[in-house]
Structure 1
Amino acid sequence: SGTIKLLLIRPASRVKILVSKYISFLLFGMLLLLTLFVISIAVNGILYGFGYMDLPLVSMTADGQIVEKNMVLNLWKTYMLNGVSTVMYITLAFMISSAFRSSAMAIGFTIGALFAGNIIMEVLQRFDWSKYLLFANTDLTQYLTGHPFQEGMTLSFSIGVLAVYFLVFNLISWLLFTRRDVAA
């Protein structure tokens, strides 16, 4: 804490400082996601044996077809799709911390949104416009199972909606960070 003043007196621009802080947030989040993947594989292997890792994952699609998948590959896809939601939540937290100068508020609001987002989306699912909300699109694993949030939603639709939110969140962060004064 308190390092932003020391960074701002250097010849680096505010945009460069903002981007470097954002990239460090993203790298830390992805490191945590990768660590979780490795630990989950290791714990599963210790508890159930590593010999079962090559067993196929058998599931049923929405139209009743039986599908056989590689278990480790399916787990990796799940983690990568959750990586997209991790990036979105990091971007949301970064925007809030840039806007309100409070790390505690950013963390608290983002964790609250993480838990309350699914509940709010269950209430709003009956409305057609709810498919454009952030929380309806952050869980991309819904396309692995073939059960999207609403009929007509596709993976490319969700990625497009998330890209718009990503740009808006970063634009707000940039506008607020480059125009504000740094207080003591």
Structure 2
Amino acid sequence: MFNLFRNEWRKLWAKKSSWILLLIAVVFAGLTAWGMHGLGTGINSTVTSDSLSGASTGAKAFLTIFSSGSSLVSIFAIVMTAIIITEEFAKNTIKLLLTRPYNRHQILCSKFLAALAYLVVSLVVVYLVAILFTGAFWGFGGLNKVVDHGMNTWLYGLVTIAIYVLGNLFYLSVVFVLAAGMRSQGLAITFSILLEFVLSIVTQLLTVLMVNKQWWWIKWNPFNLMSYNPLVGNLKGMPAAASLSGWGWAIGLIIYIAVFYFIADYIFNRRDVSLS
């Protein structure tokens, strides 16, 4: 299984698109830092909680830079996930894979782990780039000060990475379902990217419905869990019945990720490779 994962990992980074997309995210984060510093604009702290209002300028700058780069990483991880699944059928290499001593469950699992690893590595790279630009423009001193929840900026950023990883894993599991059943690589990528934007609209509509109808159980829908950030907490004025906790958020997302992954596994295992 490890050899299969290593093979998928190498194949993923052998693609020029993997490097190009990561480079775009890094450049975008750098441009965000340069723009804020060069234009002398205020640091936007909307990506953080209100308790960060007293945080240092460097800390707020770091979080804004990291948020700008990680937003692209989320989209690019979706693209690469769709590619690594559909290309096996598009290039007809799935038949070669099946001649090796691996079953389809193992093949799909190795691709899921490779997609997860790509997401984590990309976020860590953006995290390091955000630190470097913050230090270059605003100094590293502010990063050592406590930001929120008793954490300094370094630790706060690492926890944010963990939150982004879990949240994006839900998207990736849904992409696995779409890609496992599609033959067109272009369609799989297009639908996967559109999915992220559509879900944001659905989340807002469901939130309005939940509050107006007082259907508090709607808070457990996966779209609402995706929009929740444990570090930021619940929205102001949100009724207690509609509020989420950090543990509830994490357990709920893990359950949804598992459900969609097993659906993708079911589709992938019953797909007819003779038509590839």
TM bucket (normalised to shorter chain) is 0.7 to 0.9
3-state SS of 1:12 partner: coil
> How many residues are matched?
175
Cα 1:7–1:68 change in 2 (3 A) is: closer
Among 147, 155, 163, the residue aligned to 1:81: 163
- Take 1:37 and 1:20, find their aligned partners in 2: how far apart are those partners? 25
- Matching of residue 175 in structure 1 with residue 266 in structure 2: yes
Structure with the bigger percentage of helix:
2
Q: Which runs of 4+ in 1 moved over 6 A?
A: none
3-state SS of 1:107 partner: helix
Among 36, 48, 52, the residue aligned to 2:126: 36
3-state SS of 2:272 partner: coil
Among 204, 219, 227, the residue aligned to 1:131: 219
Among 33, 36, 52, the residue aligned to 2:142: 52
Cα 1:152–1:50 change in 2 (3 A) is: closer
Q: Which amino acid aligns with 2:109?
A: V
Task: Give the alignment of 1:9-158 within 5 angstroms.
Answer: 9-57=99-147, 69-126=151-208, 127=210, 128=215, 129-141=217-229, 143-147=230-234, 151-158=242-249
Cα offset, 1:38, TM superposition: 1.1
3-state SS of 1:146 partner: coil
Unpaired runs of at least 5, structure 2? 1-86
Cα 1:69–1:178 change in 2 (3 A) is: closer
Cα root mean square deviation, aligned: 2.2
Cα offset, 1:86, TM superposition: 1.8
Taking only the aligned residue pairs, the percentage that are identical comes to: 28
Cα 1:152–1:31 change in 2 (3 A) is: same
- Take 1:103 and 1:168, find their aligned partners in 2: how far apart are those partners? 23
3-state SS of 1:101 partner: coil
- Could you state the TM-score of these two structures normalised by the residue count of structure 1? 0.82
- Take 1:134 and 1:181, find their aligned partners in 2: how far apart are those partners? 30
Cα offset, 1:146, TM superposition: 2.6
- Take 1:131 and 1:104, find their aligned partners in 2: how far apart are those partners? 33
- Take 2:114 and 2:133, find their aligned partners in 1: how far apart are those partners? 28
- Take 1:75 and 1:11, find their aligned partners in 2: how far apart are those partners? 41
3-state SS of 2:244 partner: coil
Indicate conservation of the 8 Å contact 2:234/2:243, yes or no: no
- Could you state the TM-score of these two structures normalised by the residue count of structure 2? 0.57
- Take 1:117 and 1:29, find their aligned partners in 2: how far apart are those partners? 20
Structure-2 residue corresponding to 1:62:
none
Cα 1:101–1:31 change in 2 (3 A) is: farther
